[in-house]
């Protein structure tokens, strides 16, 4: 008598998988387009605003700042995105919550503060080589976030054989099954 009651309660409490209209954009493709946009923007900013000829920074310093920015950006993006993808398997949707923000913001803020103080320590107050190195790390940090998010979305879709969908302006992402492949007249067609 207890088990049928719990089964009914479980079925009533389970969320239905209803995708609102307008969620027809692939989240993976959007993340890839976002990654390309931000990489181009950061490259433009790098060449337009950093004057390495007047205030030279050694190649080793540039490499260290880039590696530091890439490492922290990759780390925080992996934490942030994996947390969201873990939730989407349970609820079939996700939007950014407080835990996601903490997983993303805390490493970022600590890195920016630490990098700023390192540049102050080695180069003095607002001396251009230190400030330029710090900006280089910020550019590397920003680019790595979107690239990692794209690759995590891409591997998730392949592994789960599902598709991540979003709207152009919405913050939620929904998980839907991919259409099955069919074999018509000996040719393989992917139905959408």
Question: What pLDDT, on a 0 to 100 scale, did the predictor assign at position 186?
Answer: 53
pTM for this one? 0.71
The two tokens of residue 16 are 């239905």
Question: What pLDDT, on a 0 to 100 scale, did the predictor assign at position 13?
Answer: 47
Beta-sheet strands, E only, within 69-147: 93-94
SS3 174: strand
More confident: 14 or 148:
148
Closest to 156 in 3D by CA, of 89, 97, 70: 89
- Supply the mean pLDDT for the chain: 75
Q: Is 166 exposed, middle or buried (0-12, 13-18, 19+ CB in 10 A)?
A: buried
- The mean pLDDT value for 11-34 works out to 70
What confidence tens digit (pLDDT) does each residue in 76-106 have? 889 888 888 888 888 777 767 777 778 778 8
- 110 pLDDT exceeds 80? yes
Q: In the chain, what is the straight-line distance between the N-terminal and C-terminal CA atoms, in Å?
A: 45
Residue reference for tokens 């630490």: 114
- 4 pLDDT exceeds 90? no
Question: What pLDDT, on a 0 to 100 scale, did the predictor assign at position 135?
Answer: 77
Between 18-32, 33-47, 153-167, the lowest mean confidence (pLDDT) is in 18-32
Between 1-10, 15-24, 31-40, 64-73, the lowest mean confidence (pLDDT) is in 1-10
With contact defined as beta carbons under 8 Å apart, do 57 and 129 qualify? yes
């Amino acid at each position: 008598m207890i088990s049928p009651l719990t089964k009914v309660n479980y079925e009533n409490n389970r969320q239905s998988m209803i995708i609102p209209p307008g969620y027809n954009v692939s989240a993976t493709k959007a993340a890839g387009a976002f990654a390309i946009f931000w990489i181009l923007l950061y490259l433009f900013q790098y060449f337009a605003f950093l004057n390495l000829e007047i205030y030279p920074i050694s190649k080793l310093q540039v490499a260290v700042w880039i590696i530091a920015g890439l490492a922290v950006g990759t780390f925080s993006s992996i934490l942030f995105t994996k947390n969201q993808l873990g939730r989407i398997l349970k609820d079939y949707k996700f939007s950014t919550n407080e835990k996601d923000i903490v997983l993303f913001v805390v490493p970022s803020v600590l890195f920016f503060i630490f990098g700023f103080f390192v540049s102050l320590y080695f180069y003095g107050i607002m001396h251009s080589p230190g400030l330029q190195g710090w900006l280089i790390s910020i550019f590397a940090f920003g680019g790595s976030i979107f690239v990692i998010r794209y690759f995590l979305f891409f591997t998730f879709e392949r592994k789960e054989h599902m598709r991540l969908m979003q709207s152009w302006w919405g913050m939620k992402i929904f998980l839907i099954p991919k259409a099955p492949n069919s074999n018509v007249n000996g040719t393989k067609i992917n139905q959408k």
